[in-house]
Structure 1
Amino acid sequence: MKALVLKRYGRPDQVALTEMPRPALKPDDILVEVHAAGLNPIDTMIPKGTFKPILKLDLPATLGSDLAGVVVEVGRQVTRFKPGDAVFASIFDLSGTGALAEFACVPENAAALKPANLDFVQAASIPMVGLTSWQALKERAHLKPGQKVFIPAGSGGIGTFAIQLAKYLGTKVGTTTSTGNVDLVRSLGADEVVDYKRLQFEDVLTDYDAVLGTVRGDAIEKSLRILKPGSTIVSLVGPPDAAFARARGMNFVMKFLFGLLSRKIIRGARTRGAAYSFLFVRPDGGQLAEIGKLLEAERIRPVIDKIFPFDRAKEALAYLEQGRAKGKVVVQMR
């Protein structure tokens, strides 16, 4: 089968479309013929070695996190799916397989039936941004109706989904975007929109209950100024904290290192009466099924910027890395 494969860390020429053996099916796996794969920023960072201390890949490794396709075979322990089922899944952080391939093995507990009203490209755009938003806003921030959440970079892949989920949860949403994307984020439900080319969000927004950290640099520290006591910061971009290292079963050195890295922001959050945590999304088919219900009910809609054919998958990653996509970038296999 064809797959986009990482052969060695650190060099662009070490990522290429390559013929690979079809992945071996485990007893609790489903084998999916991939119709489309959604791209995420982490897919551009893994080849650089950014996540080597966290993600243990056996090279050469197939890249890609999110997929939608059709089940062609099931393991002997699988009970929820059968050949012919249309499914979508995130296989991020699951060793041994990747989404940017003609076929992928997916653990049964990571998959969900594809929403009937979405095509494969739309479905492939959802898993990681959907699960990340769900785990951040529902599990960590415990958002309640009437609260206010700040979701910066509202026109990006995470932002376009998280704004919609936050509105479904009954909250008021503040976001940042460029002048040309103001109408887009308002159409998704954003209540307070700051054009970052004209204003600083920390000078405009006040009394927020939660922040979803999606922008690198000093944005998280600046967001402390808009929070009220009892608020929550959930960061997707770091710094990682000691709790994350413990949850991943890392050694003492990594726990100590991540504790040092996060000490400043944790201390700053405490001075505002806020709590800080770092979130590394986990695959979860049950949560994805719940997200699927919202998509079928049209409470949330996919936002797709650009679709690339499979033979231009490497170009798709380069396009995503520019950081200008409005919504998601998807690779279409068939």
Structure 2
Amino acid sequence: MKAIVYQKFGTTEVLQATEQPVPAIKANQVLVKVKAFSINPMDWKIRKGEMTLMSGSKFPKYTGTDFAGIVEETGAAVTGLKKGDEVFGVVKNMMKEGVSAEYVAVTASLVWKKPSQISFAQAAAIPVVGTAAVTSLEKMGNINSETNILVNGATGGFGMFLLQLLKQRGANVTAVTSNKGTAFAKKWGANTVIDYTKENVLSNTATYDIVIDLSGKMGYKTAKSIMKAKALFLNPTPQPIEIPVSLFMNLFRSKKHVVILSAPSAKYTDILLEAIKKGLEIEVNKVFPFSQYKEAYQYAEQGGYIGKVVVELN
């Protein structure tokens, strides 16, 4: 089978399409013929060597975390899935595994049946950013129409899920996005939309109960000026040092810096599937064929697009 691998850290130029054996599955795994996989920022952070403490420096390495496809084979201990099922899922360890291949062997507990109303490309976009959005909701605690929430960088894949989940919960949301994202932010449920190319959210007099920075550009120190006295700053893109430091510093401050660390699970996926039933939209900005995998990663790394970028296989 064809699979994308790399033998050293670097730019997209280190990615190579190689011939690999179809993986053998364990009793608790399924073999999936991959129809689509999505691209996430963690893919290039690992590839560039920014996550070596967790990913290690052993090669070859693989890329891609979430996927959709068709079950080809099931392990002896697997129930609830069978050959021919249309599914989507995620690898257990994104630091060590990858799904950018024609076939992938995955733990069955991290594979779910694809809703019939969405495409393989849309399904492949769900697990990583969808789970991060649900995890963020949990960290927010009890929210309602009186809860003022600022979502910075609101119309990427993460924001797409988060805005719609917040709308389903009735929160009062201000979304910060580019001019090409304003219509999507409104459609996905933002009460107020700020175009950062025309207005600086930090110059407004408004303050917020919760600020979540999906762009990775605001930071806790900057956000403090627009946070209420006992507000939360949610950080889904922390630097490794921020994880222990934020826990310690929160003991002494009323404005909390909360790091978001998420892992897909059946619990979170059930929440996402229910939201999709209620009309949650999945916007796939661009689909690349497998033969253009380098172009796909280059496009994704540039940022500035709405929703998700996906690679499809025949």
What is the alpha-carbon distance in structure 2 between the residues aligned to residue 58 and residue 75 of structure 1? 28
**Alpha-carbon offset, residue 204 of structure 1:** 2.2
What is the alpha-carbon distance in structure 1 between the residues aligned to residue 47 and residue 94 of structure 2? 16
Residue ranges of structure 1 left out of the alignment (5+ in a row): 245-257
1:209-235: per-residue Cα shift (whole Å, max 9, x none)?
Answer: 222222233443222222223322221
**Alpha-carbon offset, residue 277 of structure 1:** 2.2
1:275 aligns with 2:274: no
| Corresponding residue for residue 254 of structure 1 | none
1:2 aligns with 2:2: yes
**Alpha-carbon offset, residue 96 of structure 1:** 5.3
| Corresponding residue for residue 155 of structure 2 | 155
**Alpha-carbon offset, residue 205 of structure 1:** 5.9
What is the alpha-carbon distance in structure 1 between the residues aligned to residue 303 and residue 92 of structure 2? 20
1:228 aligns with 2:208: no
Cα contact 2:46–2:95 (8 A) shared by 1: no
What TM-score do you get using the length of structure 2 for normalisation? 0.92
1:300-311 to 2 correspondence within 5 Å? 300-311=280-291
**Alpha-carbon offset, residue 154 of structure 1:** 1.4
SS of residue matched to 1:210: strand
| Corresponding residue for residue 297 of structure 2 | 317
What TM-score do you get using the length of structure 1 for normalisation? 0.86
1:169 aligns with 2:169: yes
Aligned-residue Cα RMSD (Å) equals: 2.2
Cα contact 2:12–2:298 (8 A) shared by 1: no
What is the alpha-carbon distance in structure 2 between the residues aligned to residue 116 and residue 203 of structure 1? 45
| Corresponding residue for residue 86 of structure 1 | 86
Cα contact 1:111–1:284 (8 A) shared by 2: no
| Corresponding residue for residue 267 of structure 2 | 286
Deviates more, 1:40-49 or 1:89-98: 89-98
1:174-323 to 2 correspondence within 5 Å? 174-204=174-204, 206-240=206-240, 244=243, 258-259=244-245, 262=246, 266=249, 271=253, 273-298=254-279, 300-323=280-303
**Alpha-carbon offset, residue 27 of structure 1:** 2.0
What is the alpha-carbon distance in structure 2 between the residues aligned to residue 310 and residue 193 of structure 1? 36
**Alpha-carbon offset, residue 241 of structure 1:** 5.3
Aligned-residue sequence identity (percent) comes to 29
For residues 220 and 192 of structure 1, do their structure 2 counterparts lie closer, same or farther at Cα, with a shift above 3 Å needed? farther
**Alpha-carbon offset, residue 56 of structure 1:** 4.0
What is the alpha-carbon distance in structure 2 between the residues aligned to residue 143 and residue 57 of structure 1? 41
Cα contact 2:29–2:74 (8 A) shared by 1: yes
**Alpha-carbon offset, residue 101 of structure 1:** 0.8
Letter in 1 for 2:80: R
**Alpha-carbon offset, residue 143 of structure 1:** 4.2
1:51-90 to 2 correspondence within 5 Å? 51-56=51-56, 58-90=58-90
What is the alpha-carbon distance in structure 1 between the residues aligned to residue 127 and residue 293 of structure 2? 18
What is the alpha-carbon distance in structure 1 between the residues aligned to residue 28 and residue 229 of structure 2? 45
1:260-317: per-residue Cα shift (whole Å, max 9, x none)?
Answer: xx489x46x954x22222223212133213211211331x100111000011112101
| Corresponding residue for residue 29 of structure 1 | 29
**Alpha-carbon offset, residue 112 of structure 1:** 1.5
Letter in 1 for 2:305: A
